[in-house]
Amino acid sequence: MTYVIDPTICTGCGACIEACPAGAITFDGECARIDLDLCVECGTCADECPTGAITESA
């Protein structure tokens, strides 16, 4: 499963960046971004996101 970040919900708090064990998430100044080449699809980022901006993609 792939995870995506909704930029309209992301507040840029950085919780997902700190939680990601693979270092796959960066901040672009407005919103977090997931590097799908680095993502291990563990779901930790989605669990830690306080706004629910990270979800599984169909």
| C-alpha 9, offset from chain centre | 12
pTM here is 0.91
pLDDT in tens, 14-58: 999 999 999 999 998 889 999 999 999 999 999 999 999 999 997
Q: Tell me the domains of the chain and their CATH numbers.
A: 2-57 (3.30.70.20)
pLDDT value at position 1? 82
Looking up tokens 């977090």 gives 32
Would the pLDDT of 8 be above 80?
yes
pLDDT value at position 25? 98
Residues 6+ apart with CB under 8 A from 17: 25, 26, 27, 32
Extract the runs of DSSP E, i.e. beta strands, from the chain.
Answer: 2-5, 25-27, 32-34, 54-57
pLDDT value at position 58? 72
